[in-house]
Amino acid sequence: MQLIDRPEESNLPAFIEKVAVLTGKPSKKELPHWISSTQFSAYLNGNSVELEENPEPLFDIETRPGIGIDPECGSVDTGGEGEGGKFYLAEYLRLRDGISLRGYAKCESSLRGEVKADVLEKLFEGSRHVPLTFGGQQGVVGLSCVRLEKPLQGLVAENASDGCWVKWILLAPAVFSNGWKPDWVDENGIVRLPAERPPRKPGQTREEWRKSFTEAPKAVLAAACSGKPLPFSGWNTRIGGPRPARLAVPAGSVYWFRAESPTDAATLVKVLQGRCMSSFYGEKGFGLGICVQQKM
C-alpha cells in the first residue's frame, strides 16, 4: 500500500491530502486473518512481509443450542399462539492448544487518604495463575500474570526516522462520534490533543487542571484507510436490557498525520503510542494503537 496525491475531483474532506492505494497485482486469493508479531514488527519497520498461504487456525467455533427466555418473566419463552417454544444456536470461541489471548490491565485503589494499593497484585497473591469467570455465559478462563515495563515491547518500530509524518495503526476497534474521523481531529483536520496532560491534583478545579496542559503538537490528519464499520452491541446487566448498537472503526485501520516539524511528529507519537484514543469504551481497550514516525 502506498499514498498518492488525492484526485482533483473528490468527495473527500478538504483536509485530506493523500489517498491510500494497493500495490501489486489484483488477486482473489484470500489473505490470512492473522499475522505474527514478528511479521507486524517487520511491517512497522518498512520491511517486506511474507504471508503464509494456509496458516493454522488460532481457534475453533463451538456451536451450542439453548432455550429462549422471556425477559419479562425470566422463564422459558413459549412463544405466541401456535408458535411453540423457542430455541437458539450460540457460537463460542475455543482457543486451540498453545494459543493465548493477551490483555493489558492496571488497577490501583483510589480511596481518599489511603496509600494506593495494586489491586491486581492482591488478585494474584500466592499464584501467578488464577481462574476467572468470563463472559455472559459464566465461562471460566485461566488467567496468568506477566509484568511488563513496556506492554507493547516488540511492536514498536526500531528504525523510526526523523520525518514529519506519523502513521497510526489501530490494534483494537475504535468508536468516534464522527464516524471514521477521531473526535480529537477538528473539522479542518487539525489535531487537538495536548502534548502532556499532568495528573489532576487534589482540590484542583477542572479549569485549573486544563490550563496546565502543554501545547498540542502541530499536525493535521492527511490520509486514512479504514475497513468496513464493525457493528456491535451488548447487554446491560444493570437495567436488564440490550445496549445500543454502535459502529466501530475496525482494527487494522491506518491514519497518517503530517506534522509541521520532526519534533512535532515525535511529540504526536508520544501522545498516541500505546494509548486508547477511542471516544467511547476507551477504558475497555477500544482505540488502542501504535505509531511509527516516517518520511514521505
State the pTM of this model: 0.79
Highest mean pLDDT among 54-68, 137-151, 262-276: 262-276
pLDDT class for 139, splitting at 50, 70, 90?
A: confident
Question: What pLDDT, in 10s, does the model give residues 5-53?
Answer: 888 888 888 899 888 887 777 777 777 888 888 888 888 887 878 877 7
pLDDT class for 110, splitting at 50, 70, 90?
A: low
- In this structure, is residue 61 part of a structural domain? no
pLDDT of res. 112 = 57
Tell me which residue has cell 459464566.
138
pLDDT of res. 71 = 67
Where does residue 184 rank: exposed (0-12), middle (13-18), buried (19+ CB within 10 A)?
Answer: middle
Dist. CA 30–CA 17, nearest whole Å: 31
pLDDT of res. 154 = 58
Question: What pLDDT, in 10s, does the model give residues 187-199?
Answer: 999 999 887 877 7
**Domains of the chain: total:** 1
Q: What percent of the residues of the chain are helix, what percent strand, and what percent coil, each to the nearest 5? A: 10, 30, 60
DSSP E strands: which ranges in the chain? 2-5, 18-21, 59-67, 87-95, 129-134, 139-144, 165-170, 219-225, 230-232, 235-236, 241-242, 246-248, 254-259, 289-294
Dist. CA 67–CA 87, nearest whole Å: 5
- In this structure, is residue 68 part of a structural domain? no
pLDDT class for 135, splitting at 50, 70, 90?
A: low
Proportion of the chain above pLDDT 70, given as a percent:
88
Side-chain half-sphere exposure of 55, counting CA atoms within 13 A? 13
- In this structure, is residue 172 part of a structural domain? yes
User: Quick check: helix, strand or coil at residue 225?
Assistant: strand
Dist. CA 183–CA 187, nearest whole Å: 9
pLDDT of res. 279 = 93
- In this structure, is residue 225 part of a structural domain? yes
Looking at residue 82, its amino acid is G
pLDDT above 70 for 137: no
Q: Where in the sequence is the domain holding 227, given as residue range(s)?
A: 2-23+34-46+150-294
Backbone angles phi, psi at 9, to 5 degrees: -100, 115
In eight-state DSSP terms, residue 39 is H
- In this structure, is residue 191 part of a structural domain? yes
Higher pLDDT, 294 or 85: 294
Whichever domain contains 244, its CATH number is 2.60.40.4350
What are residue 90's DSSP bridge partners? Answer: 64
pLDDT of res. 205 = 84
pLDDT class for 166, splitting at 50, 70, 90?
A: very high
pLDDT above 80 for 153: no
pLDDT class for 173, splitting at 50, 70, 90?
A: very high
pLDDT of res. 114 = 61
Highest mean pLDDT among 9-13, 147-151, 216-220, 255-259: 255-259
Dist. CA 93–CA 57, nearest whole Å: 12
User: Quick check: helix, strand or coil at residue 211?
Assistant: helix
- In this structure, is residue 232 part of a structural domain? yes
Backbone angles phi, psi at 4, to 5 degrees: -125, 160
Higher pLDDT, 86 or 13: 13
Long-range pairs, 281-284, Cβ under 8 A, ≥24 = 281/175
User: Quick check: helix, strand or coil at residue 21?
Assistant: strand
- In this structure, is residue 66 part of a structural domain? no
Question: What pLDDT, in 10s, does the model give residues 56-70?
Answer: 888 998 888 877 777
* Average pLDDT over the chain, rounded to an integer: 82
pLDDT of res. 220 = 93
As a three-state string, the secondary structure of 236-248 is ECCCCEECCCEEE
Query: Closest Cα partner for 231 from 220, 243, 219, 222?
Result: 243
Tell me which residue has cell 413459549.
78
- In this structure, is residue 94 part of a structural domain? no
pLDDT of res. 115 = 67
pLDDT of res. 100 = 82
pLDDT above 90 for 275: no
pLDDT class for 249, splitting at 50, 70, 90?
A: very high
In eight-state DSSP terms, residue 123 is H
Dist. CA 93–CA 60, nearest whole Å: 6
pLDDT of res. 36 = 82
Q: Are 279 and 249 in contact (CB under 8 A)?
A: no
